Chains A and B, each alone.
Chain A
Amino acid sequence: MSRQTQIEVPDDLPIVRTVREFDAPPAKVFRAHIDPELFVQWVGPHALAGEVSTWDARTGGEYRYAMKEPDGGDEHWFRGCFHELRDGERLVQTFCYEPWPDGVVLETLVFEALDGGRCRLTSTSLSGSFEERDALVASGMEQGVQEGFEKLDRLLAR
């Protein structure tokens, strides 16, 4: 059984899709996504400190959080709207890295119950264009650190 994250970056849709299975039921995996104290424990690398400034996890709510580099280093802020929370089943939200406001991504997370109290999480990030999608993949923006890949992004967009 492969527990490794599977990834799909298709040619015909500007999406990134990841699939991963967890040894926990959907309700628990879902909760780890919407409880801010749990969320910041895993969303970014341990070297970065997560800070939540806005967190209104309900359909129509919004969120804003930062990943902060140690010793007063750079802060990376992210924000978005919780479009729909369907408890333990589905989470639809927007996501954007604040310095890159045009690169808004629509994220759809589907939590699927598996035998043995396990869960399959399928996460689909839809970008506004192939260029934005490719830049997202190249920059690692999702990770919390935009590493200044602009020049390579332009290359990829050619």
Chain B
Amino acid sequence: MGAARRHEPVLDEVFAALADGTRRDIVARLADGDATLTELAASYDMSVQAVSKHLKVLEGCGLVSRTRVARTRPAHLEARVFDLMTAWIERYRRRAEQRYRRLDAVLAQMNDDPPPAPRGDDDEEAP
């Protein structure tokens, strides 16, 4: 491995990086093949600097790498589609867990709080 910058994508960083539409688009484009910053920037209605920033975020979380080829540094997608699916599944699971924690709180409320008024607990609701 040596000096090679081995960067395991950290899920939270990956999710944060992919929360942005442009970055998702860049990832989708790079799945078709490597592209230089200039090539990428040509397809977006934004400055080269802005696209470069997005690319840096993708690099930062390990999804994209850039190596020097002649005078360019084409961007290369590191994560294979399979890896992405694993990430999506974990994200889905976390969201389900968060939802169920909210349900825990609702259930605790149902347990602890007796009905406020002397109205039936099992009726739908007072008019």
Chain A residues with CB under 8 Å of chain B are 4-7, 9, 16, 18, 20, 22-24, 28-29, 31-32, 35, 37-38, 41-46, 121, 134, 137-138, 140, 142-143, 147-149, 151-152, 154-156, 158
Which of B3-11, B51-59, B96-104 lies at the interface?
Answer: B96-104
B81 interfacial contact with A, CB 8 Å: yes
Do B107 and A24 touch (CB < 8 A)? yes
Do B106 and A42 touch (CB < 8 A)? yes
Known: A42-B103, A43-B99. 16 other contacts (CB 8 A): A5-B100, A9-B89, A22-B103, A22-B107, A24-B111, A28-B110, A32-B103, A41-B102, A42-B106, A134-B88, A147-B19, A149-B24, A151-B25, A155-B31, A155-B81, A156-B81
User: With the chains together, A138 CA to B24 CA distance in Å?
Assistant: 12
Q: How far is the CB of B31 from chain A (nearest CB, A)?
A: 5
Q: How far is the CB of B124 from chain A (nearest CB, A)?
A: 8
User: With the chains together, A140 CA to B98 CA distance in Å?
Assistant: 13
Chain B residues with CB under 8 Å of chain A are 18-19, 21, 24-25, 27-28, 31, 81, 84-85, 88-89, 91-93, 95-100, 102-108, 110-111, 124-125
Do B102 and A7 touch (CB < 8 A)? no
Do B96 and A28 touch (CB < 8 A)? no
User: With the chains together, A148 CA to B22 CA distance in Å?
Assistant: 10
Do A140 and B99 touch (CB < 8 A)? no
Interface SS, B side: helix
Do A7 and B85 touch (CB < 8 A)? no
Instruction: Specify the chain A residue showing the minimal Cβ separation from B86.
Output: A9
Which residue of the partner chain, among B95, B102, B103, contacts A29 with CB atoms under 8 Å? Answer: B103
Q: How far is the CB of B15 from chain A (nearest CB, A)?
A: 10
Query: Could you write out 19 A-B pairs with CB less than 8 Å apart?
Result: A5-B97, A18-B93, A22-B104, A29-B103, A32-B106, A42-B99, A42-B105, A46-B102, A137-B89, A137-B92, A138-B84, A140-B91, A140-B92, A140-B95, A143-B95, A155-B31, A155-B81, A155-B84, A156-B85
Instruction: Specify the chain A residue showing the minimal Cβ separation from B95.
Output: A143
Task: Enumerate chain B residues within 8 angstroms of A4, measured Cβ to Cβ.
Answer: 97
User: With the chains together, A35 CA to B19 CA distance in Å?
Assistant: 32
Instruction: Specify the chain B residue showing the minimal Cβ separation from A29.
Output: B107
- Give the 9 A-B CB pairs with smallest separation, nearest first: A42-B102, A151-B28, A7-B93, A5-B97, A24-B107, A42-B103, A138-B88, A5-B96, A20-B100
